[in-house]
Amino acid sequence: ACAKPIEHDASSRCVACETRYCSDRCLRYHAHRGGHDDECAEIASGGGAEQHHAGKKYEEAVSDAVEECAEDTEGQTCFICMDGDAEEGLVRGCSCRGASGFVHVSCLARQAKILVEEADERDLDDNQWHRWYKCSLCEQQYHGVVRSALSWACWKTYLGRPEADWARTCAMTQLGNALHDAKHYEEALSVKEAVLSMQQRLGASEKNVLITQGNLACTYELVGRLEEALSMERDVYSGRLRLNGEEHIHTLMAANNYANGLLTLQRYAEAKALMRKTIPLARRVLGESDTLNFKMRKICATALYEDPAATRGDLREATTTLEDLERTTRRVLGGA
């Protein structure tokens, strides 16, 4: 109610619907003056605050997906239940063509849940989790509003499990990525921050924490929180150096992202220093024709010529680099 962050194990909560609060004072205020009393019964009948919220977001996401796909799906039939007249509209958000791939989001969710449960019961190596984000016909990932709706269904399915449960963790991560893909960056940021907090609290592997931090840094940048993005990119780069060493591909990618963040904030000297150190490593490990090497050289050249303190030598070096880069990329990637 007061927008203060709430601990996962917060003791202050509504006895009827289990909604958590930062303090008893905040709970009393929201109950009597903030409108909670009017929603309490609905939240309780919906399975609690998180389940109620996820259910509402799922319904909204399905409605958005059905509306966006309406022109394409008119007169079609769901390939799972074979019903084209159900109250829930159809969607198609994969790479299927022709009459294939039309489906209800609820059918996709039901299919994914059943397949994951069966794989878990039979202890299969393939846990079938990809059915929560990939079409079973064309085997391509769902995208945009369809992916977002299916991911809300996924989160709604597993959020009641213990915090450390693998499926709950995967569902939260998938929801954050889907919201990002649908360009709902503020919502994605909230979910990704929760994922990182959970991983740190549960002692997740450094590898998984670094992956989450990298995704989070990208979202910070997209919502304009550039200093926070840069701080996290620096942490990811330092973590990759420690975990993988300076010549690992993930370390080189982290260095590129960090340098790009420095460039965005006009910290030219730091960007140049990092790229001068990293480009020779990228050339040796990846070769002259790798696209990551191209990106690094462009960052370095840009930092050289955009720096207000650039010398004539810096400008000549930037020009030479960009001319050579144009020739190399045309040869490797082809003309525009």
What are the angstrom distances between the C-alpha of 123 and each of 93, 133, 164, 174, 335? 30, 21, 19, 22, 50
Closest to 129 (Cα-Cα) out of 158, 98, 93, 100: 158
- As a whole number of Å, the CA-based R_g of the chain is 24
Residues 6+ apart with CB under 8 A from 271: 259, 260, 262, 263, 299, 300, 303
Q: Helix axis angle, 144-158 relative to 166-181, nearest 10°? A: 160
Which stretch of 18-32, 73-87, 247-261 has the lowest confidence by average pLDDT?
A: 18-32
pLDDT at 13: 65
pLDDT grade, residue 35 (50/70/90)? low
pLDDT grade, residue 3 (50/70/90)? very low
Report the percentage of the chain scoring pLDDT > 90. 76
Q: What is the pTM of this model?
A: 0.81
Distance CA 66, CA 279 (A): 47
Residues 6+ apart with CB under 8 A from 205: none
pLDDT tens readout for residues 187-210: 999 999 999 999 999 999 999 999
Q: Are 186 and 223 in contact (CB under 8 A)?
A: yes
Q: Of how many residues is the chain composed?
A: 336
Report the percentage of the chain scoring pLDDT > 70. 85
Distance CA 75, CA 252 (A): 50
pLDDT tens readout for residues 243-296: 999 999 999 999 999 999 999 999 999 999 999 999 999 999 999 899 999 999
| β-bridge mates for residue 141, sequence order | 134
Residues 6+ apart with CB under 8 A from 199: 208, 209, 212
Structure-token pair, residue 326: 């144009």
Structure-token pair, residue 6: 């709430």
Distance CA 285, CA 300 (A): 18
Structure-token pair, residue 270: 């730091």
Phi/psi-derived region of residue 16, left when phi > 0, alpha when psi is between -120 and 50, beta in every other case? alpha
